Structure 1
Amino acid sequence: MAERIATPVASEKVQPRRMRIKSPALAPALASEGLVPPHRGGEMMLSLAILLIAGIAHLTGASPLIGLFLAILGAFSLLVTVRAANADKRLLSEVARKEAVSRVEMEDLADRMWELRESEERFQGLVDALGDLIVHRDRGGRIIYVNRVFAELLDREPEQLVGRTLSQLGIDIGLVPDAAFSDGECLSSTDVAIHTRHGVRWYSWIEHSVRDEKAGSVSHRAIARDITARKRAERALINARERAEQASHAKSRFLATVSHEIRTPMNGIMGMATLLADTRLTPEQRTYVGAVSTSASALLALIEDLLDYSKIEAGRLELEPQSILVHEMVENVVELLAARAFAKKIGLGCYIAPNVPSRITADPGRVRQVLLNLLGNAVKFTDEGGVTVCVTREEKNGAPAIRFAVTDSGPGMEKADITRIFKDFEQVDGSSTRRHGGAGLGLAITKRIVDAMNGSIAVASTPGEGSEFAVVLPLGTGAHEEADADPVLYEVNAVILSPYLEEAETIAMTIRAYGGSAVIATGPEDAARLAKEAGKPFDTVLVDATLEADDGNLITRLHQLGVGAGRALTLITPSERGRLAAFRASGYGAFLARPVRGKTLLHQLLSEHGEIAWPVSEARDAKGRKQLAEAKRGLRILVAEDNEINAMLARAALKKAGHEVDLVSNGRSALEAVSNSVKRYDVVLMDLHMPVMDGLDAINAIRRHEEETGIAPVPILVLSADGQEKTRHGVLAHGANGFVTKPLDPDKLLAALEMHAAA
């Protein structure tokens, strides 16, 4: 047998040394098996003896036949012996050759065995050095083989683990050991916790299960890598994230609480300033009151921006898609900024294309906020010229979309500024903050809201010429087409005289979009030139009130110049309403309020007898409030408000309008007042957040009392600074009839009372 290869002890850390292997003696083995004949000496001697006897027989005179027979026998025996000896030599030569070949093969086999052993030991050393666990199991999950790392982890020898199952070793990998594999094999992985004397160690366990189709057996080969450090890092990150979320929620709650506490006195300041402005004041006092209102509004807007920013940063920006009337929403937003634009003596116009759907599905509060931010910025940064908003329909990624484009004639921006204006707390330059104010959050909030609505926002700007901010929003599944795109103004040929070219262009675009013809002139001479070029006078003349002098001769002059042969309309702002009688006396047949609403413009141009077209939202003068109060004088109103300033403001506004007011400071007192009152209240104004019992609980209790007693429900209007659609729907679901947003605006409050008391 070959000598075994010596294997050094692993602890000695020496390289394995190859040993010489002696080849075995094959001849004795062959002889014992009868493959090598014995020596032929005896046979040779026998043959010679026979020949000798044959010679003696011949000499002694024996029978010749006997002598001949012995001679032949001896010769034949000698011949056979010689031939056998030659055959033996050839056999021994072949044996020697095979022995040499066997010796070479044995040495080659020994070399291969040594290399295999060396490779195995080297591979085993590398695997163990990696620190990975290797486990081979049979069909039943019993261990066939484990590496030394796995054995040392469990303080065992590898041989001690053979035949055991993982569950017996306290290891649960959560994998079925003999799953039915459709394709003959299965690769699965999981994270496994292994309890050791040093504590729990986590391993990423990857198992490859293979089915032998011929034998029908399944074996499972697994390799596991230590991921304890990663698990600890993950746990640390999870804990850190949870702490950060808790801190963020705490900060958000703190910010919401503080902002509410700030808004409450700010609402009082703004409301009292509004009431004070309706009293008899000197011009100087009125200026001071206006400054108070402006400052309070700016501070409140900043607080709202900070609240929105905190919600977005905390990932709590929630959208509430609803059906929106596009014309009403856009024109209302434009009117909200009209006073600010007209105070700066710049134009403000709105154009909505006829093919724009009457409704879109989106969050109305967020769309309104986006438009207010963009229009507010445009008005703020524009000192001359004008600001316009154009609403059109287009395609975005093959789907119908609506585009809101806000254009101004302001200072414009460089390309480098455009790339950063949507970043938090960024403005075009440092001087902008000092000149125009603001924290640089408006556009950052706008972009995030647009992104949340799956829309896009883009900017085009030229320094010294102005900017355009375009927002594109998907129409949504609930969009309905507007069916008024017919060319109803095909007989209208109008000229618009206005110093505000941008605003006048939106009016002209509306007339053209509905089939009419419209041009813009800056004065009478310019209008005369256009009429001469057209070869006929215009049948409709729209004149901005700022061009009409006190003498009222502009219409006469236009007729003399051959500009107009038809009717004339004037465009006026709310501050110019006192000139209405003079305008009518000068020959103006109708009046349009700036900024001009598209529907109102169409109505006036199609009407044979024009009337003064004032949007309801513009009736904000003291005279209008007085008329409204006279129409509903004597309402009995309960106000539930825990803040003394807000309660004082509401009572003052209501009493000034001629109503009877009772005040309570919490929901329980409101419930008792409604339940125990001998004379029924006409309207209840309910604050949401009050001590003892909040507004929603009080509303529920009042409605239950009304059901139990069978009395008619009293209209309840909720007062809250939280104007989100979610809050509005929530209070209406609890039984409220309406919602009035703080800070309280006397006009809006009285209008809401009028509507619900009449109902």
Structure 2
Amino acid sequence: MAISVISDFMNAAVYDSKGHLVLETEENVFQPRIEEASINTVVQEIPNLQYPVETSNGWMYTLSRGIHKGQKLIGQLMVSVNATKLVSLVYDRTGLQETGELLVGIPDGPDKIRLLLPAMQKPNVIVLPYKGAMAKAINGESGILKERNYRGARVIAAYRPAGFLHWGLLAQMEIKEAYASVWSVRLVILVTFSALLFVGALASLGLAKAFTSPIIELGKAAFALGQGDMRTRVKKGSSCFHDEFSNLKDAFNGMAHRIASHQYILEHEVSERTSDLAHAHDGLAREVEERKRIELELEKAKDIAMAADRSKSEFLANMSHEIRTPLNAIINFTELCLDTQITQEQQEHLEYVQFAAQHLLRLITDILDFNKIAAGKLEMEEIQFSLYEQLEQSLSVLAARAWKSGLELCCDIHADVPDQLLGDPGRLLQIFVNLVGNGIKFTKKGEVIVSVTVNSKSADDVELLFAVKDSGLGIPQTKQSLLFQAFSQVDSSTQRLYGGTGLGLAISSKLAAAMGGRMWVESEGVEGLGSTFSFTGRFKLFPSNSSMNFLMFKGVRALVVDDNSTGLRILTDLLKSWNIIADGVMTTEAAKSALELGESSGHKYNVVLLDMWLGGVEALDLVEYIRARPDLLQKYASDAEVNTLYPVEPDSDLALPSAHCLSQQCSSKSTPDRLRYGPNLKVEIYTKDNVSSAIIMLTSVNHMESSRCKELGLPFHTSKPIRRSLLNRVLRSALGFEDKMSHDEGKTSKESKKLNKRLHVLIAEDNPVNQRVAIKLLHKWGHTTVLAVDGAEAVERSAKEEFDIILMDVQMPVCDGFEATAKIREYERSHNRKITPIVAMTAHAMMGDGEYCIAAGMDYYISKPLNAKKLQDLLQYVATSSLRVYSASPSHKNSMSMW
């Protein structure tokens, strides 16, 4: 910056080696002769500077530099430079307030610094000691520090070098003046926070007192409606006072009224069609001679009845939005109320309301899904997903139910089953939850086993066979054909004992067919032998390079102790697929024998995976036995360098070296690429103090068992059914591998900060209930919102301010969501503004909606009524994803996501 300011050359002259003037750009400006000694003092690399002086032409200074021919000095170049800009820069007060100033320093000997221009605050100061920020700047450093200036005041100073001139630039200001505004802001924040805290506490006490009566009333009404009383209504509150409970009451009454109206319309329409059919039959009985005409009328009546049935199915499929919106509003507002400060009694009533509403929503969803399938409006997604994670997620949802029923829930995925697939993970999860849930419901004791195998496989796709086997009641063969029919169960007692709509298996069977497969059941009809529900599905393969690295486990010896033979087999096979030498036993005594045999044969185990309960008794005896005999186990590795310094090729039969090789100072020069365990290796063993780290407890989902592990001093445990990723991490820690866990945790922490980023959201929605739901949910998650009641207002709002995301209803008055989005995109292009992600909110998430949304310039779409979990996941996805570039290319169309 300084070079650009001072590069204002006025005149120049050339002197020879004797000091005589040879050439000048203007006469009578330079001396005709200079001392020869002064020429010899000029170095070649750094120009010689004479300090600025004020002349009639302004501030001027001269620069001189030697002229060399090879190593010989043959003359000197001298330049006269106008320093007015430099002086103006140094003495400019802009942004320096009262005590700020800018100094330019030049080294003057080894211990002094001469100021190019006198100090502004103290003009008689032109020489400073060679220290502090100015000395650092002259030495080529840049930075900011706090020090005392030439007046003895504490200042904050910013310094940097001035290029090839070896000058130093220093800008400084007194600390008291620099930080005056920060201290004022601190005081304002403290006072504001205290006031808000006091007002919030008073408001919470008042609100909690007013919640009790409407909550009880809503709970009773929701329960009555769930029992089938369509006349149930809740009493409206005062018209002068309108709050969230008033919204809940209005939404509930509106939902009850619509359900009753829909039921009456359906009954009336079916009655009319039935009446037409009856008249046709009467005509057939009365007029035998007109048989042909009557047969035609019967055919017509049949068509009318089938049309009525189709109308009913289409009507129910299209009524999904109208029925679910108020019911979902009840669930969401109830959840919002649960997050406020309420009494225990209020919480119990709200949870009862939420349970009744969710139960009613499940019943309605089953009926609507079935009718949607019957109407041919069910569409399947095709997105990339992890089969392992999807399967483990469905089992984790039901693990608590299995544990409460005293059942063992196992998952057996064969090693050749691919993980990354293209398909509809949501529908696959729906099938698994239904089948596994039925297995748990109808099994009193024993186990429920989920297995996945490959039926057939090609280069592009794979057909998988899924099976859910239980040890429950069994199904008679005469009744098996009824299972996949709508509203059918094995017998009437099943409905009385276990509940349900009888639609789950019918829907699951249709979903399996939509995946290109089929569903069937195998059962002997004998209690205890149970049933096996199987289905197939065809999925496209998704190429992926992400896979766990199991080479580090090569050579590890593990002992699995589990009294359930199925779980023992599945876990042992899984460990073997990870290159672990695994043995399995079912009793404490067998485990002790296996440990002693390993010790005596020289093949000690490195880790023990122990079920928390063996034969109904806590496995504490085996834990104490291992602690008393730590020599039975042997450390395999304790240093992360094992993973990186000594690679093993996939086809190698050599084990990775353990950490004791590092203790013998194996250098990278003397260590070959592959190592064998030599006879002189030092083997590390466990002690009584640390042998507990070699035991991994297999617990249930009961959190009390996790606490029990901590009481027993067992640091590593994982719950059943086993999750592969979690077991892999626990094994790495137990074996002493320096996994990337700390790195991943740091990365997760950074991602969580992104996920928790506060967003500024524009909500374009005309429905008051959906408005309240969206605003309350977004405020609950810490986001700020702006509401637009139609598309025209949304366009106006987006032009006035920038938003992180826009939630756009597709159907609105004045200007719909498609037209509004097109106008917003056009405005962004014409004004060169950043593309704002737009999420379409549509009541009918059908095929074709996505194409319309893409054509209008939208990025994502979410179905209504709004689901809190899906909306939060979508916001987190948008907050952590890079924004798309506005384009109409096919690749952009494929990037559209539905939530």
TM-score relative to the length of structure 1: 0.57
Q: Deviations over 1:127-181 (max 9, x none)?
A: xxxxxxxxxxxxxxxxxxxxxxxxxxxxxxxxxxxxxxxxxxxxxxxxxxxxxxx
- Among 516, 519, 527, the alignment partner of 2:580 is 516
Which position in structure 1 is the counterpart of 2:434? Answer: 373
Which position in structure 2 is the counterpart of 1:107? Answer: none
Please report how far the alpha carbon of residue 602 of structure 1 lies from its aligned counterpart in structure 2 after TM superposition.
3.7
Please report how far the alpha carbon of residue 379 of structure 1 lies from its aligned counterpart in structure 2 after TM superposition.
3.2
Please report how far the alpha carbon of residue 404 of structure 1 lies from its aligned counterpart in structure 2 after TM superposition.
0.9
Tell me, yes or no, if structure 1 residue 713 matches structure 2 residue 780.
Answer: no
Tell me, yes or no, if structure 1 residue 463 matches structure 2 residue 530.
Answer: no
Which position in structure 2 is the counterpart of 1:539? Answer: 606
Q: Is the 8 A contact 1:570 1:591 kept in 2?
A: yes
Q: Deviations over 1:88-127 (max 9, x none)?
A: xxxxxxxxxxxxxxxxxxxxxxxxxxxxxxxxxxxxxxxx
Tell me, yes or no, if structure 1 residue 596 matches structure 2 residue 722.
Answer: yes
Please report how far the alpha carbon of residue 719 of structure 1 lies from its aligned counterpart in structure 2 after TM superposition.
4.1
Aligned counterparts of 1:568 and 1:705: Cα–Cα separation in 2: 63
- Among 823, 826, 829, the alignment partner of 1:704 is 826
Change (3 A) 1:319 1:303: same
Which position in structure 2 is the counterpart of 1:188? Answer: none
- Among 569, 580, 594, the alignment partner of 2:696 is 569
Please report how far the alpha carbon of residue 374 of structure 1 lies from its aligned counterpart in structure 2 after TM superposition.
1.7
Aligned counterparts of 1:230 and 1:483: Cα–Cα separation in 2: 72
Aligned counterparts of 1:610 and 1:551: Cα–Cα separation in 2: 29
Bigger relative contact order, structure 1 or 2, given CA contacts below 8 A and separation 6+?
1
Q: Deviations over 1:59-84 (max 9, x none)?
A: xxxxxxxxxxxxxxxxxxxxxxxxxx
| Higher deviation after alignment, 450-459 or 431-440 | 450-459
Aligned counterparts of 1:326 and 1:671: Cα–Cα separation in 2: 42
Which position in structure 1 is the counterpart of 2:793? Answer: 669
Please report how far the alpha carbon of residue 733 of structure 1 lies from its aligned counterpart in structure 2 after TM superposition.
5.7
Q: Is the 8 A contact 2:612 2:619 kept in 1?
A: no
Aligned counterparts of 1:749 and 1:238: Cα–Cα separation in 2: 49
- SS across alignment from 1:463: coil
Which position in structure 2 is the counterpart of 1:755? Answer: 877
Which position in structure 2 is the counterpart of 1:22? Answer: none
Q: Is the 8 A contact 1:386 1:501 kept in 2?
A: no
Report percent identity of matched pairs: 32
- SS across alignment from 2:606: strand
Which position in structure 1 is the counterpart of 2:762? Answer: 638
Aligned counterparts of 1:346 and 1:689: Cα–Cα separation in 2: 49
Change (3 A) 1:716 1:558: farther
Q: Is the 8 A contact 1:625 1:657 kept in 2?
A: no
- Among 574, 591, 605, the alignment partner of 2:731 is 605
- SS across alignment from 1:392: strand
- SS across alignment from 1:390: strand
Change (3 A) 1:558 1:435: farther
Q: Which aligned pairs between 1:31-50 and structure 2 lie closer than 5 A?
A: none
- SS across alignment from 2:834: coil
Q: Is the 8 A contact 2:612 2:618 kept in 1?
A: no
Tell me, yes or no, if structure 1 residue 507 matches structure 2 residue 554.
Answer: no
Please report how far the alpha carbon of residue 661 of structure 1 lies from its aligned counterpart in structure 2 after TM superposition.
2.0
Please report how far the alpha carbon of residue 392 of structure 1 lies from its aligned counterpart in structure 2 after TM superposition.
1.0
Q: Deviations over 1:419-462 (max 9, x none)?
A: 32122211223232233221111112222333344423232234
Which position in structure 1 is the counterpart of 2:808? Answer: 686
Q: Deviations over 1:492-550 (max 9, x none)?
A: 44344567765565433422344435456667556435545767664223345679999
Which position in structure 2 is the counterpart of 1:442? Answer: 504
| Higher deviation after alignment, 449-458 or 419-428 | 449-458
Q: Deviations over 1:452-476 (max 9, x none)?
A: 4442323223422332211123455
Which position in structure 1 is the counterpart of 2:207? Answer: none
- SS across alignment from 1:370: helix
Tell me, yes or no, if structure 1 residue 407 matches structure 2 residue 407.
Answer: no
Q: Is the 8 A contact 1:248 1:314 kept in 2?
A: no
Tell me, yes or no, if structure 1 residue 337 matches structure 2 residue 464.
Answer: no
Q: Is the 8 A contact 1:629 1:657 kept in 2?
A: no
Aligned counterparts of 2:704 and 2:864: Cα–Cα separation in 1: 28
Tell me, yes or no, if structure 1 residue 250 matches structure 2 residue 372.
Answer: no
- SS across alignment from 2:449: strand
Please report how far the alpha carbon of residue 403 of structure 1 lies from its aligned counterpart in structure 2 after TM superposition.
0.8
- Among 361, 372, 388, the alignment partner of 1:300 is 361
* 1:710 alignment partner AA: N
Which position in structure 1 is the counterpart of 2:777? Answer: 653
- Among 589, 592, 609, the alignment partner of 1:528 is 592
Which position in structure 2 is the counterpart of 1:560? Answer: 628
* 2:432 alignment partner AA: L
Aligned counterparts of 1:529 and 1:283: Cα–Cα separation in 2: 53
Aligned counterparts of 1:280 and 1:549: Cα–Cα separation in 2: 42
Aligned counterparts of 2:749 and 2:780: Cα–Cα separation in 1: 10
The size of the alignment, in residue pairs, is 519
Tell me, yes or no, if structure 1 residue 350 matches structure 2 residue 350.
Answer: no
Which position in structure 2 is the counterpart of 1:424? Answer: 486
Which position in structure 1 is the counterpart of 2:648? Answer: none
Aligned counterparts of 1:441 and 1:633: Cα–Cα separation in 2: 42
Q: Is the 8 A contact 1:491 1:516 kept in 2?
A: yes
Q: Is the 8 A contact 1:271 1:743 kept in 2?
A: no
Q: Which aligned pairs between 1:142-541 and structure 2 lie closer than 5 A?
A: 243=304, 246-279=307-340, 286-319=347-380, 325-342=386-403, 344=405, 346-360=407-421, 362-395=423-456, 401-461=463-523, 462-475=526-539, 478=541, 488=551, 491-496=555-560, 505-518=569-582, 524=588, 527-528=591-592, 531=595, 538-541=605-608
Aligned counterparts of 1:470 and 1:312: Cα–Cα separation in 2: 21
Please report how far the alpha carbon of residue 709 of structure 1 lies from its aligned counterpart in structure 2 after TM superposition.
2.9
TM-score relative to the length of structure 2: 0.49
Aligned counterparts of 2:752 and 2:547: Cα–Cα separation in 1: 34
Q: Deviations over 1:380-405 (max 9, x none)?
A: 334544433211112499x9631111
- SS across alignment from 1:415: coil
Please report how far the alpha carbon of residue 559 of structure 1 lies from its aligned counterpart in structure 2 after TM superposition.
3.1
Aligned counterparts of 2:634 and 2:369: Cα–Cα separation in 1: 54
Q: Is the 8 A contact 1:352 1:392 kept in 2?
A: yes
* 1:560 alignment partner AA: A
Which position in structure 1 is the counterpart of 2:119? Answer: none
Change (3 A) 1:524 1:513: same
Please report how far the alpha carbon of residue 303 of structure 1 lies from its aligned counterpart in structure 2 after TM superposition.
2.1
Larger gyration radius, structure 1 or structure 2: 1
Aligned counterparts of 1:498 and 1:748: Cα–Cα separation in 2: 38
- SS across alignment from 1:681: coil
* 2:448 alignment partner AA: V
Please report how far the alpha carbon of residue 355 of structure 1 lies from its aligned counterpart in structure 2 after TM superposition.
0.9
Aligned counterparts of 1:400 and 1:747: Cα–Cα separation in 2: 31
* 1:647 alignment partner AA: Q
Q: Is the 8 A contact 1:350 1:597 kept in 2?
A: no
| Higher deviation after alignment, 585-594 or 457-466 | 585-594
Unpaired stretches in structure 2, ≥5 consecutive residues: 1-289, 636-693, 883-899
Aligned counterparts of 1:446 and 1:287: Cα–Cα separation in 2: 34
